């Protein structure tokens, strides 16, 4: 009796202090990180405000495109934005917390002649600590590259995976009166012409290893496949078989190319070496087979075929040769692009007289339409990290290159004005 009374009392005494209830929070209140990007300040040497402005503009543009951040208006910045101190002990985190910033980018530059040294830091204002920091050395003309590189670093620090902003986008433009191959930065700047074929250049694709491209050109009067090294400028015609030599795509290991040939009368997909030697015929059907896109593991291709009537996307197991149909909806599905993570395949679908971009899982489930509104959106290609899609669209009149996040948000034009631009391709890490 006494013992049971004792146990009850002890139990009550223990329990009274810790009456627990679970509180469930089902989503973060802030779903974009409030970020402040300050203007980089001169540390030493000459003062060039335009360099600091360019660096800040590139960082803001890249990080805004990522969708990860809510950029804080620089007009609200307090005195710490004008202090050059780059150590976590020198940053007034209280000021940034006051503005609601959870992260802040600060930096400084040193100019000695044409030599530019850029110091960039990302701070966590809650933990009052440095998240990442980089020092870049180069010429003043490299300021944009340095900013892109740091934007990649910021994404790596906050997501675990680097951004794609240091990569390049190849595209076809007719601004000279001929369709030529061009290269530009991810935000459309620094556009440079790569070919001077004065003919028709089409379907570029970047090698996964090394800085080289393949493309189709009518330079010799026929649609032949060419390979070009970017740095040396060397170029070679690697496939000039009878008929079409189009839509070449490097295998992820960079050793082979899937190419559409019509040497036997009908368009079929073949596997060739980077020197042009024929390795294997992949498709064999009465229908037109074209536009192969490799799975990231290089064991399958998605391609377009009208073997069942209308053009649809199919998937072929490259080793076993088994083919299955991927898209069921729509009457005209074209230009598939397998995401680098392998989880989705982007393609364009013709409906009501215009193309729109869609994505679908490789098992045919979860089809999603990403683009809406006027204009045709075609030729989607993934960024090397799978975060973004680049495509061509005539929504603004002449065809231009656009970029959006993989979920269809944040779409923006990136190609420079002048001429019509199409057939984009995104490089790997540059």
Residues of the shown chain interacting with another protein in the complex, contacts defined by CB under 8 A:
2, 5-6, 9, 13, 17-18, 20-34, 66-69, 102, 124, 126-127, 158-160, 387, 405, 407
For the bound state, the minimum distance from the C-beta of residue 366 to another protein, rounded and expressed in Å, comes to 12
Residue 358 CB coordination number (10 Å): 25
Nearer residue to another protein within complex by CB, 201 or 406: 406
Cβ neighbours, 10 Å, residue 276: 18
At 293, list the tokens: 């896109």
CA 5 to chain centre: 70
Tokens describing residue 391: 């495509």
Cβ proximity to another protein: between 126 and 176 the closer is 126
Phi then psi for 93, rounded to 5 degrees?
-65, -30
Residue pair 347/340 in contact (Cβ under 8 Å)? The answer is no
Q: How far is the CB of 328 from another protein (least distance, A)?
A: 23
Q: How many CB atoms lie within 10 A of CB 262?
A: 17
Q: CA 270, 273, 275 angle in degrees (round to 5)? A: 130
Q: Within a 10 A sphere around the Cβ of 301, how many other Cβ atoms?
A: 26
Nearer to another protein, 25 or 319 (CB): 25
CB of 298 to another protein, least distance (A): 23
CB 402 within 8 A of CB 186: no
The nearest distance, CB 370 to another protein, in angstroms, is 13
Structure token pair of residue 394: 């005539």
Q: Are 53 and 41 in contact (CB under 8 A)?
A: no
Residues 6+ apart with CB under 8 A from 408: 357, 368, 369, 370, 371
Tell me the closest approach of the beta carbon of residue 355 to another protein, in angstroms: 24
CB of 367 to another protein, least distance (A): 15
In the block, tokens 């503005």 appear at 99
Residue 394, SS3 per DSSP:
coil
Q: Tell me whether residue 5 or residue 75 sits nearer to another protein (CB atom).
A: 5
Q: Position of tokens 């992949």?
A: 282
Closer to another protein by Cβ: residue 347 or 388: 388
Q: Shortest distance, CB of residue 351 to another protein, whole angstroms?
A: 23
E strand map for 232-367: 235-239, 245-250, 256-261, 268-273, 278-281, 289-294, 300-305, 312-317, 323-325, 333-338, 345-351, 354-360
Q: Do 136 and 153 meet the contact criterion of CB atoms below 8 Å apart?
A: no
If the CB atoms of residues 97 and 197 are measured against another protein, the closer one turns out to be 97
CB 192 within 8 A of CB 200: no
Residue 27 or residue 319: which is nearer to another protein going by CB?
A: 27
Q: Which is closer to another protein, CB of 31 or CB of 232?
A: 31
Q: How far is the CB of 71 from another protein (least distance, A)?
A: 13
Cα 228–chain centre separation:
22
Measured from the CB atom, the residue of 162 and 259 that comes closer to another protein is 162
CA–CA dist 314, 285 (Å, integer): 13
Q: Other CB atoms closer than 10 Å to residue 68's CB: what's the count?
A: 18
The residue with tokens 């080289």 is 212
The β-bridge partners of 179 are 200
**Minimum CB separation from another protein for residue 10, in Å?**
11
CB of 58 to another protein, least distance (A): 19
Least CB distance from residue 243 to another protein, whole Å?
44
Return the number of the residue (195 or 371) whose C-beta is nearest another protein. Answer: 371
Query: Nearer to another protein by C-beta: 129 or 331?
Result: 129
Euclidean distance between CA atoms 183 and 204, whole angstroms = 10
């Amino acid at each position: 009796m006494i013992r049971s009374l004792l146990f009850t009392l002890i139990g009550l005494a223990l329990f009274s202090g810790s009456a627990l209830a679970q509180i469930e929070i089902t989503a973060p209140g802030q779903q974009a990180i409030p970020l402040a990007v300050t203007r980089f300040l001169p540390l030493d040497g000459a003062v060039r405000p335009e360099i600091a402005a360019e660096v800040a503009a590139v960082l803001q543009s890249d990080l805004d495109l990522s969708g990860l951040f809510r950029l804080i208006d620089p007009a609200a910045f307090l005195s710490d934005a004008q202090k050059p101190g780059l150590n976590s002990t020198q940053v007034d985190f209280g000021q940034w917390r006051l503005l609601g910033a959870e992260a802040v980018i600060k930096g400084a530059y040193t100019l000695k002649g044409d030599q530019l040294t850029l110091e960039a830091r990302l701070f966590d204002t809650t933990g009052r600590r440095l998240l990442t920091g980089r020092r870049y050395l180069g010429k003043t003309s490299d300021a944009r590259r340095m900013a892109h590189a740091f934007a990649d670093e910021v994404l790596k620090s906050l997501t675990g995976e680097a951004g794609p902003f240091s990569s390049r986008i190849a595209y076809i433009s007719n601004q000279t009166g001929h369709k030529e191959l061009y290269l530009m930065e991810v935000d459309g700047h620094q556009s440079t012409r790569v070919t001077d074929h004065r003919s028709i250049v089409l379907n570029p694709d970047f090698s996964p290893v090394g800085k080289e491209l393949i493309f189709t050109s009518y330079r010799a009067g026929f649609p032949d496949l060419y390979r070009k090294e970017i740095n040396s400028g060397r170029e070679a015609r690697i496939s000039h078989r009878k008929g079409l030599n189009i839509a070449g795509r490097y295998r992820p290991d960079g050793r082979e190319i899937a190419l559409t040939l019509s040497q036997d009368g009908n368009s079929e997909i073949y596997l060739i070496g980077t020197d042009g030697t024929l390795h294997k015929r992949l498709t064999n059907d009465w229908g037109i087979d074209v536009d192969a896109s490799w799975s990231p593991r290089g064991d399958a291709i998605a391609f377009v075929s009208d073997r069942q009537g209308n053009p649809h996307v199919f998937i072929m197991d490259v080793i076993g040769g088994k083919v299955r149909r991927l898209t069921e909806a729509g009457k005209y599905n074209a230009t598939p692009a397998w995401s680098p993570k392998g989880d989705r395949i982007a393609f364009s679908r013709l409906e009501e007289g215009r193309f729109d971009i869609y994505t679908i899982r490789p098992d045919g489930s979860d089809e999603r339409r990403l683009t809406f509104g006027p204009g045709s959106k075609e030729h989607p290609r993934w960024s090397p990290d799978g975060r973004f899609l680049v495509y061509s669209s005539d929504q603004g009149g002449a065809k231009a290159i656009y970029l959006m996040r993989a979920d269809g948000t944040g779409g923006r034009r990136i190609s420079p004005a002048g001429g019509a631009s199409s057939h984009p391709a995104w490089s790997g890490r540059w």
